[in-house]
Amino acid sequence: MTRKKILLFITLFVVLGTLSYLSYSVIVKAKEKKLTANRLQIIPEFQFEDLKSSTFTNASLQENKAAIFVYFNTQCDYCQHEAQSISERLDELTNVQFIFVSTEDIETIKQFSENHNLNHQPNITFVHDNTDIFSTKFGATAMPYLLIYDKDQQLIKKHKGQLNANGILKALIPAKAGI
């Protein structure tokens, strides 16, 4: 075999190998995404720590209320605006339980809840994800990230990025009879 043929063979082998690997990666990612989407149709089992260092699980959810999980970071401007918007419309969101989830330390989360007047609200719980499981189990790939479930724990809406109180209320309209 000549050098040109060997070089052509190696190039072809590398190109085909790369394309095969990329195709495989795309297929695996698509399957993972579908599994996560299916898993999120009802609220997955979870366990977090609330701001009083108590365990917060599925059993802690308030009955007959829609549940909204808000994955956030206190340094995120969009998260700050979202929290402020919710705070300003709390009177319209009394039949909804908010679960604000962060991987930050408890003191930082407490400060955020106080800054936005969301502390001491009966329908708002702030939790610390000390095992960083929310992002994988709930499919969070951005902040803020919201999952809105109806009172039967069925997924209504999954949203990446900021969603103000108006957007939340619109998402709840189809489930209005159920909240």
159 contact partners, CB below 8 Å, separation of at least 6: 145, 146, 147, 148, 167, 171
The 10s digit of each residue's pLDDT in 117-164 is 999 999 999 999 988 899 888 988 899 999 999 999 999 999 999 998
Q: For residue 33, what pLDDT is reported?
A: 66
Q: For residue 179, what pLDDT is reported?
A: 47
Q: For the whole prediction, is pTM greater than 0.85? A: no
Q: Give the whole-angstrom CA distance, residue 7 versus residue 56.
A: 61
CATH number assigned to the domain with residue range 47-178, chosen from the 4 options 2.60.40.10, 3.40.30.10, 3.30.70.100, 3.40.50.150 = 3.40.30.10
How far is the first Cα of the chain from the last one, in angstroms, to the nearest whole number? 74
Q: Give the whole-angstrom CA distance, residue 168 versus residue 85.
A: 10
Query: Is 60:48 a contact under the CB 8 Å cutoff?
Result: no
Q: Give the whole-angstrom CA distance, residue 5 versus residue 29.
A: 36
The 10s digit of each residue's pLDDT in 27-76 is 767 667 666 566 778 899 999 999 999 999 999 999 899 999 999 999 99
Q: For residue 38, what pLDDT is reported?
A: 65
Q: For residue 111, what pLDDT is reported?
A: 96
Q: Give the whole-angstrom CA distance, residue 74 versus residue 100.
A: 11
Of the candidates 62, 78, 60, 106, the one whose C-alpha atom is nearest the C-alpha of residue 70 is: 78
Q: For residue 117, what pLDDT is reported?
A: 93
User: Where would I find the H helices in the chain?
Assistant: 3-39, 77-88, 106-115, 134-137, 165-172
The 10s digit of each residue's pLDDT in 90-117 is 999 988 999 999 999 999 999 999 999 9
